[in-house]
Amino acid sequence: MSVGICFVGNFENIEMPIEQFNAGIKLIKSLMKQYNIPLTNILRHRDVVSDISRTANSTECPGKNFPYVHMLDVLRNGEPFFDIGEDYPYINEVKTLKQLGIIKGDGYGNLRPKEYITREEAMIIAYRVIKALGN
């Protein structure tokens, strides 16, 4: 079984109004509770594998301005990422770095701590640290 929720708006061109975001969060939380849906099953249309192409990303829906990561953060209730929990040895450091905006994860709510960091990711983190220290 699956449940689809439509957020009306062209999120390729506009930002989602906060009222719509809050109403969506309320609805998703209610459905998660009612149907025992894990947070890892909250997907965007673009994340669903197409019956035709048999791949994900066959659409741009819901658009580049859809607040998916922010939505997952709110739904996560304090847990920083899907793939680590309170038993992760550096959980407090990860929570602090995420709160400061220095690390943000992979866009799907994962930290991927067992994967190598790329040069690009390292430079982005360094930039965010320098920016945070400058404030």
Cα torsion through 56, 57, 63, 65, rounded to 10: 90
Report CA torsion sign: 22, 69, 42, 58: positive
Token pair 């109403």: residue? 23
Based on the fold, state whether residues 111 and 65 are members of the same structural domain. no
Instruction: Give me the tens of pLDDT residue by residue for the chain, a chain 135 residues long.
Output: 788 999 999 999 999 999 999 999 999 999 999 998 888 889 998 888 777 777 777 788 899 999 998 898 888 876 788 788 888 999 999 999 998 999 988 877 789 999 999 999 999 999 999 999 986
> Residue 38 in contact with residue 60, Cβ under 8 Å?
no
Based on the fold, state whether residues 70 and 94 are members of the same structural domain. no
Based on the fold, state whether residues 9 and 53 are members of the same structural domain. yes
Based on the fold, state whether residues 94 and 40 are members of the same structural domain. no
122: number of Cβ within 10 Å: 10
pLDDT score at 87? 85
Domain housing 27: 1-77
Contacts of 68 (CB under 8 A, 6+ apart): 44, 62, 107
What's the predicted TM-score (pTM) here? Answer: 0.62
Last residue of a domain, one of 37, 53, 77: 77
pLDDT score at 130? 95
Based on the fold, state whether residues 3 and 53 are members of the same structural domain. yes
Cα 57 to chain centroid, rounded: 16
Structurally, the chain folds into a number of domains equal to 2
